[in-house]
Each structure stands twice: as C-alpha cells, then as structure tokens.
Structure 1
Amino acid sequence: MFRRDYLMNMIEQMTEAVGQILQLKKELKHQDALLVIDELLDKRFGISGNLIRSLSDKDLMAVLTTNGVIETDKLQAIAVTLKQESELHAELGNEDASFVSGLKALQLFMRLSLVGAEPTIANPSKEAEQLLEQLKAYELPPHAKQLQAEWLEDEGQFARAEDVLYELLEDEAVTNEEVEAFYRRLLFFEDDRLEAGGLPREEVQYGLDSLISK
C-alpha cells in the first residue's frame, strides 16, 4: 500500500513537472524550463541536484540502492528529467551541456533495462533507444559503448552489439578475449534467436574463428 501510494505520488509529480516543462518549451521559455528542472533535481529525489550531476550513472544507482534493492522508480524519474534537460539544451544550441545530460540519461536507462526495472515512470529500453538516436551525431566514450554493447546483447540485438564491440576493439578499449567471450555466449542460443538478432550461427562461428586465428 505504501509503495503504491508513493509511486502514484511520484508519477503525479513527474507528470505535472514534465507538462510544465513542455508548456514552457512551447512558449520558448527554455531558461524557465531549465529552472524547473533544477528545482526538480534538488527537491524531489532525496539527494541534491549537485550530487545527481556529479556522480556517474553507476555510482548514482549505488547511492539509490538500499539493502540490495534499487530505487528504480526514482532513477527512472531522474533519467526522464535529464533527458528533458538534454533536449532543452539542444534547442538552445548548448551542445556540450545537451550531450552531458543526454549521456547520463542514456546510461541510466540502459542500466535500468539491464536490471529488469519495471517501466513505471518510463520504459527504460524504449527511452534508451530514443536517446541513442538523439545522440547519434556524437562519439560516445568507451565506457558508454561498453555499456551499450552489454545492453544490446541483453536486448537480443546481437549484430548491433557486435558492431559496437568491434569499434571498441579497434580503439583497444576491449580485448580479443572479451569479444571471443561474446561470440561464445551467443553459441548457446537457439538459431531462431540468433537470426532475430541479426547474427546467424554461421556468422557467430566465423567471427569467433577469425579472432582465434589471429
């Protein structure tokens, strides 16, 4: 009962806040909308906005974990807020600020998807996909690409995961052994699932053999 009431209150607050932000955007009052976001981050999540901005996505999830239970609702709300902030900065031409907020939102959504978070405030998987599209003009840092590859594999998007892993391999951000491990994991899947993921078994085996022969 308590969690349901808490969740309903949070959904109501987020709906109201996002509606306010969208209305201010429509009125071209972007700076006012950013102030709403600052207030939201400072007052509604139990930790300061400065801490939310300074912590990495991984550390932020650790802070919002108690006795092994992740506060996924709160993290979804934070990620939604940061996504809105990213879009506002993009419309203002603040590309660096837009990228920073968008990247943290993306990584939070991918991590939430990986832990199987129930989509209460937002759907982590769909939001992550949207943010990847939004940030496609930018080169993601290696740690973000590693998380992206893990998330894509978990989503069953094997061909896309392979592409990201080879980008990391070229940049020496992962080892041959790590990519080999990816292919070996895929070999345990049924053919239908590999086909659906864009990486048929013969391509998986070819990729693995190519790495082993190096």
Structure 2
Amino acid sequence: MDDQPGSAAASAGGGRRVVRGTVDDLAAAVSELDPDAGGLTGTTVESIVLAGARVLGGRVTGLRLRDVVADQAVLAGIVLDGGGATRVRVTGGRVSGTVWIRGELNDVVFDQVRADGLALRACLLRRARFVNCDLSGLDMTDTRLDHVRFEDCDLSSAIFTGTQIAAAQLRGCRFDGVVGADGLAGAEVDSSDLASLAGPMAAALGISVV
C-alpha cells in the first residue's frame, strides 16, 4: 500500500539495509553504508540505488544527491530545503506532496512517476526531463527552467507563477486549470496542446472569454 510506510532498500557498494518510516530511517541506512556521511542534513549522498523504497515524511536541509537512482520508490511528503541533485533518475513510484525549496537540480530524469502535488519552488532546473508523469498540481513558483522537457505529462492545475524559462519544451501535456500560465513565456509548446492551454493563458492575461 503506497500510503503506508513499507520497506525500503538502500544499496551502495554492495551494502544493503531494509528501512521503514521517514527520512530519519533512510539517514540511518545511508550512515550504515557510509559511516562518514553523518546523516542527511548538509551532506552529499552519491552512488546509491533506492529500489522499492517506502519513505514518507520528514525534513532535510542542504542535502545533495549525486548519481542516485530511485526505482519504483515512494518518497512522498518529504520537505527539502537547499542542496541539490546531479545525475539523478527516478523511475516509476511516487513522490506525491514532496517539496523542494531553493534546490539546484542538474541532469535529472523523472520517468512514469506519480508526482501529484510535487513542489519545486525557487529552484533551478538544468537539463531535466519529465516523461509520462502525473504532475497535476505541480508548483514551480519562482523556479528557473534551463533546457527542461515535459513529455506526455499531466500538468493539470500546475502553478507556474514567477517561473523563468531559459529553454523548455512541452509535448503532449495537459494544462487544464494551470495557474500563472504567463510563466511559460519562452517555452516551446506542441500545437496539439494549445487547446487546453488557451483558457489558463487567457486568465493569466486578464482576458475574459464570453
């Protein structure tokens, strides 16, 4: 059951530990794999695979992820402040309700992930790709996108208020109920997606459709 804490497996360099609960339990597993890590706050976690993880809730400050793979993991309701992610891939699983504030994400991929209610606020995303994800309710307030792609994603009710786009492409996405659609200025949007974007864009520009 995705809504209940379950077992998680963290592995690196052949080590493995089953984890249950929140980020505190995950921190204990990481410390066992790397005694010098000293927990998750303000540290760098690298070259780790989270296979089938079930981690719900918790708060982390200054965490940096490098060369991390999350496969069919549930990492939901977690709050991260600062830090960043480099060469991180999330395949399947769920990150619903997770919040990352002031993070820097480089070379990240989310593939077929349930990420409803995900918030990436005041973040910087470079070379990021979201493929076939449920991103309904995504919050990208004041976030900068630099070479970011959204492919076949549900962006219903997403928030783009204050979003800054250096380069972004959106293909095959849903935009029903999007807030702050003018934050998508500068993005490349597939012509077939314009119908669902027309209403939110009109609202952002103060245009009344009668």
TM range (shorter): 0.3 to 0.5
The structure that has the greater radius of gyration is 1
Q: Which has more strand, going by share of residues?
A: 2
Normalising by structure 2, report the TM-score.
0.38
Q: Which has more helix, going by share of residues?
A: 1
